[in-house]
Structure 1
């Protein structure tokens, strides 16, 4: 029963934080530390339940994915429209980096709350720099994003492999630095999250198949459902929030969380 409660709590945390540039993975690691929910199986659980929140994005952007798929089947790759090439270019860097540094990420970064706090702080600094950078906006909407910008955003997404940096925080910051509006960067971030997380989760589940016992699967399912339900409730509000609120406010939140956790838990 205690593990089920922990799974629900972590699912709620994931659903609430996945769409904000505050690092859902970092929050899961810190909350897992507080709940004494750690180890290889716990690491796999924290990754798998992210898929629950990401599925909420799939539901929200379903028509957009169908549009992209239809264009792919028709080999229609118009320059002034978001298409499968944009998504592939944005996905490749992080997936390649994950395959190369997988052992380091899961063996060191996921096991260190201190490194998560470092990621929260450095990621927050990046967000402030990006928000205050005076760059000419060349992509007001997602359909205006170029292939070059998509690949550049994909490179910034590699930073999210460090728990605490935040995938949305890294990619939105990258978008701003590369000339997209915050709205376009946020939309693009959420759209590419589904294939990226599907790929990362599939790889992780294969590598961690020894932990996918019947008992563990029950906890995974509970966490997945909790994350999906909470994310569906929060998604519209949070998507509007991230598109309108300046990144500095999220950076401030990250600094406060990092400081409080360090003072009251790690000291």
Structure 2
């Protein structure tokens, strides 16, 4: 298979999984293993195409971001609270990402870690869905700064591939009483600084390894992940509102077990 089609496939996987609680990084790692790709060759690509999915959130929620942007100039209370919450949730990832970046990169090459994280995360979702007592938070701006900071701490669990950044933040917020819709939107918005920062850091650290051909492949993955993520996010909230996160939990468990069996048998 040509590298162009490899980039297309990985872009589709990224777009589908980035905002679902199933771990986009984990699925990209498993995809490279399943299709026999060189994991080290595509590890940077898998991170660098994330801004395509991020752009989908910017497009879908452009009114929200515009209101916050213009509101900050007026020091509007909701705009300030919205920005404060995202920054507080973002800081823990910055600290731990810079401190343990090399160790995190090593885990990105381990498909077994991904499989176990999928299984454990699936059961964690079932527990939170069963026992969390949530109420309508009234939007991201209305979440307390304490809860926002704790969501940021929980997000750091997603540095383990297979845990899922969106899953950790959504379920972490729900465990603290935030309703599903607000928790999901908080996760969407928090992806902007978190994933952009991770991408910029990785591209800077590995800038000498990126060739002109690589930039072309990154562009393909970026565009594909944008359109796929745009379609997935539009449907995601409707599914979650009606069915909850249970289907994603069982998918994680089945996928994780299947991955372990395949990794053992190959």
TM-score bin (small chain):
over 0.9
The corresponding residue for 1:169 is 167
Question: Which sections of structure 1, spanning at least 5 residues, go unmatched?
Answer: none
The corresponding residue for 2:93 is 94
Contact 1:127–1:170 under 8 Å retained in 2:
no
SS at the partner of 2:21?
Answer: coil
Contact 1:68–1:82 under 8 Å retained in 2:
no
The separation in 1 between residues aligned to 2:87 and 2:63, in whole angstroms, is 19
Shift of 1:134: 4.0
Superposed CA deviations along residues 46-102 of structure 1, whole A, max 9, x for unmatched, are 0011211111011111111122222223333349x8521011011111121111111
Say whether 1:210 aligns with 2:208.
yes
The corresponding residue for 1:146 is 144
The separation in 1 between residues aligned to 2:143 and 2:134, in whole angstroms, is 13
SS at the partner of 2:38?
Answer: coil
Change (3 A) 1:99 1:191: same
SS at the partner of 2:100?
Answer: helix
Question: Which sections of structure 2, spanning at least 5 residues, go unmatched?
Answer: none
Q: CA RMSD in A?
A: 1.8
The corresponding residue for 1:111 is 109
The separation in 2 between residues aligned to 1:50 and 1:3, in whole angstroms, is 18
Say whether 1:33 aligns with 2:33.
yes
TM-score (norm 2): 0.93
Contact 2:112–2:263 under 8 Å retained in 1:
no
The corresponding residue for 1:61 is 61
Change (3 A) 1:149 1:244: farther
Contact 1:160–1:170 under 8 Å retained in 2:
yes
The separation in 2 between residues aligned to 1:140 and 1:131, in whole angstroms, is 20
The separation in 1 between residues aligned to 2:135 and 2:104, in whole angstroms, is 34
SS at the partner of 1:180?
Answer: coil
Superposed CA deviations along residues 179-210 of structure 1, whole A, max 9, x for unmatched, are 10011100111011112111111111101112
The corresponding residue for 1:219 is 217
Change (3 A) 1:17 1:134: closer
